[in-house]
């Protein structure tokens, strides 16, 4: 039994390897590693007794021949590889090479195999885009409104679409939520990315340990019996459980407790974006756990482990908070990824995308008493909201999907037509067999004809628009006619916004007003 794995030196990759090496039925692990990745030496030292099972393939997913070598003879392919923020922001072409081109190559290589290996594709919560208190809960099938200027989510969107539309006999798409890992504090202190986390954004966390356990349990259960009727050819959200559903402010607060402080001690309201993030609480997050029993760790357990492993963080209690704020937090204002940097350089495109504009950014100020926090039971306008009640899945307010999404396996031609119409488009196919994997012809509101399976549109939430082909985020315009998009997009954007966000050929951010 051979299992090919990409991204093995990453945080989820290392957690996965730790679990899958325990599976006795696997004789060979084919591990794809970048030639320049020095972490593999340390990793291999950890698994000396398993070295005979490891076959290291040095290469890059953007190289098709490398993908072909990786999948040849494999029974399973687990794609954990991704260029994620902040690296995707710093090196956007690498994100395209890995998250998009690399996935295309991997899928094609599998399709060309005489016997297709089963393919596990790790996608991301980032596809759902920005959420706030109005619709913090969502599920597979929600619209995919990737946040402007997030090249990571755009490339992951296009890669996932290729997987869903592939001819691979057995594949699964797993959308990973925000992940807590051992290097998280170090990674977040190296770039202005931390300022993208909205204080009131809903965030569901899962630990790297639990994510790795999930992959191992999938392999164990599939090796023990056929999962085709309940797992393969589907799309799931990897969640951490209701206890791990918190906000951006909660997350920062939990981290600063280690050094005896709080988020308010080290941050000011104007430090962080107020929209254009990506996070959601998974209404269907228990589906995978019910199948594979992987949700073991809460955020509390994670922070206790961090505090124990990095005991020197506690020394921060002895350092004046103003010193930490200046040398650990404010120094990141110079990062091109920080809102303070955008303000200093008059980056209208970024300030509009993340705050609504320069005036909205300046209005935030430094006074916490004038900033409404969801954790303090206030919405953005200062109206009372029961935060703890909002966190309960039983109280979730879901969007209108324009058909019975819980009965997607029995959709009708009328259901398909209704969803297309709600998107401002049209279903062109006249005959529907009832097979949710039937490829259909659709027309979007721009008159563009595209092909997609019924499952891809109805259950996976895809609807082709400019971001599927180019780095153009045109949701202000699209949401005017798209009733499904509007339900989420207008939660954090006003009806009168008329902006189109886009990257030029050098990945510089731009904004232009839509001509009426």
The pLDDT value recorded for residue 10 is 93
Question: In CATH, what number does 2-179+204-244+284-295 get?
Answer: 3.40.50.720
pLDDT of residue 226: 78
- Tokens (6 digits) for 149: 């200027």
Helix (H) or strand (E) holding 437: none
Alpha carbon distance 155, 82 (integer Å):
10
Query: How far apart (Å, rounded) are the C-alpha atoms in residues 230 and 218?
Result: 12
pLDDT in tens, the chain (516 residues): 999 999 999 999 999 999 999 999 999 999 999 999 888 988 888 898 888 999 999 999 999 999 999 999 999 999 999 999 999 999 999 999 999 999 999 999 999 999 999 999 999 999 999 999 999 999 999 999 999 999 999 999 999 999 999 999 999 999 999 999 887 776 777 799 999 999 999 999 999 999 999 999 999 999 998 798 899 999 999 999 999 999 999 999 998 888 888 999 999 999 999 999 999 999 999 999 999 999 999 999 998 888 887 777 777 777 888 888 887 899 999 999 999 999 999 999 999 999 999 999 999 999 999 999 999 999 999 999 999 999 999 999 999 999 999 999 999 999 999 999 999 999 999 999 999 999 999 999 999 999 999 999 999 999 999 999 999 999 999 999 999 999 999 999 999 999 999 999 999 999 998 875
H-type helices in 435-493, by residue range? Answer: 454-458, 475-478, 483-489
pLDDT of amino acid 311: 77
The model's pTM is 0.96
Q: Give, for 289, the enclosing helix (H) or strand (E).
A: helix 286-292
Inter-axis angle of helices 64-71 and 102-111, nearest 10: 50
- Angular region, 131: left φ>0, alpha ψ -120 to 50, beta rest: beta
Token pair of 445 as six digits: 């509101």
CA distances from 429 to 161, 421, 439, 442, 480 (A): 20, 13, 9, 7, 25
Distance between CA atoms of residues 115 and 138, nearest Å = 36
Q: Give the separation between CA 271 and CA 210, rounded to whole angstroms.
A: 31
Which residues in the chain are classed under CATH 3.40.50.720? 2-179+204-244+284-295
In Å, how far are 102, 174, 341, 383 from 11, measured between CA atoms?
19, 16, 29, 40
Query: Would you give the DSSP letter of residue 136?
Result: -
Q: Which of 329, 335, 350 is nearest to 274 (CA)?
A: 350
Which residues face 280 on adjacent strands? none
Largest Cα–Cα separation, the chain = 71
Q: What are phi and psi of 346, to 5 degrees?
A: 55, 50
- Of 87, 187, 92, 79, nearest to 123 (Cα)? 79
Which residues are registered as beta bridge partners of 237?
Answer: 175
Can you tell me whether residue 42 is helix, strand or coil?
helix
Distance CA 372, CA 361 (A): 15
């Amino acid at each position: 039994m051979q299992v090919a794995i990409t991204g093995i030196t990453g945080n989820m990759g290392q957690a996965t390897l730790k679990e899958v090496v325990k599976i006795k039925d696997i004789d060979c692990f084919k591990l794809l590693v970048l030639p320049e990745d020095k972490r593999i030496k340390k990793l291999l030292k950890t698994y000396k007794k398993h070295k005979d099972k490891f076959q290291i393939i040095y290469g890059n997913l953007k190289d098709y021949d490398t993908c072909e070598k990786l999948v040849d003879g494999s029974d399973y392919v687990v794609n954990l590889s991704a260029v994620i923020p902040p690296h995707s922001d710093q090196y956007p072409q690498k994100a395209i090479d890995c998250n998009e081109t690399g996935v295309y190559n991997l899928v094609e290589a599998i399709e060309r195999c005489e016997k297709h290996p089963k393919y596990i594709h790790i996608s991301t919560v980032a596809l759902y885009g920005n959420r706030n208190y109005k619709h913090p809960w969502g599920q597979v099938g929600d619209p995919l409104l990737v946040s402007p200027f997030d090249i990571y989510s755009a490339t992951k969107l296009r890669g996932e679409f290729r997987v869903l539309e592939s001819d691979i006999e057995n594949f699964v798409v797993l959308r990973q939520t925000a992940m807590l890992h051992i290097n998280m504090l170090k990674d977040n202190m190296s770039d202005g990315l931390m300022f993208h986390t909205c204080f009131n954004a809903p965030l569901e966390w899962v630990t790297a340990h639990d994510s790795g356990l999930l992959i191992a349990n999938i392999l164990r259960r599939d090796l023990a019996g056929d999962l085709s009727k309940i797992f393969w050819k589907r799309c799931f959200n990897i969640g951490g459980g209701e206890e791990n559903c918190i906000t951006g402010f909660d997350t920062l607060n939990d981290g600063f407790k280690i050094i005896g402080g709080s988020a308010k001690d080290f941050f000011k309201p104007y430090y962080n974006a107020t929209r254009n993030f990506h996070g959601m609480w998974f209404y269907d997050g228990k589906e995978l756990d019910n199948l594979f029993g992987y949700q073991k760790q809460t955020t509390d357990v994670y922070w206790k482990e961090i505090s124990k492993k990095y005991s020197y963080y506690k020394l921060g209690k002895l350092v004046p908070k103003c010193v930490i704020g200046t040398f650990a937090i404010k120094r990141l204002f110079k990062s091109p990824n920080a809102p303070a940097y955008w303000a200093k350089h008059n980056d209208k495109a970024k300030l509009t995308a993340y705050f609504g504009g320069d005036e909205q950014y300046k209005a935030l100020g430094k006074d916490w008493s004038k900033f409404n926090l969801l954790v303090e039971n206030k919405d953005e306008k200062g109206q009372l909201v029961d935060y703890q009640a909002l966190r309960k899945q039983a109280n979730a307010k879901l969007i209108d999907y324009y058909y019975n999404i819980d009965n997607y396996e029995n959709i009708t031609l009328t259901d398909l037509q209704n969803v297309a119409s709600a998107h401002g488009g049209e279903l062109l196919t006249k005959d529907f067999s009832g097979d949710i994997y039937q490829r259909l012809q659709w027309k979007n509101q721009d008159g563009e004809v595209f092909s997609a399976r019924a499952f891809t549109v109805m259950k996976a939430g895809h609807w082709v628009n400019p971001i599927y082909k180019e780095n153009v985020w045109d949701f202000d315009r699209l949401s005017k006619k798209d009733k499904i998009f509007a339900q989420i997009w207008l939660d954090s954007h006003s009806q009168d916004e008329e902006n189109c966000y886009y990257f030029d050929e050098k990945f510089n951010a731009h904004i232009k007003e839509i001509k009426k």
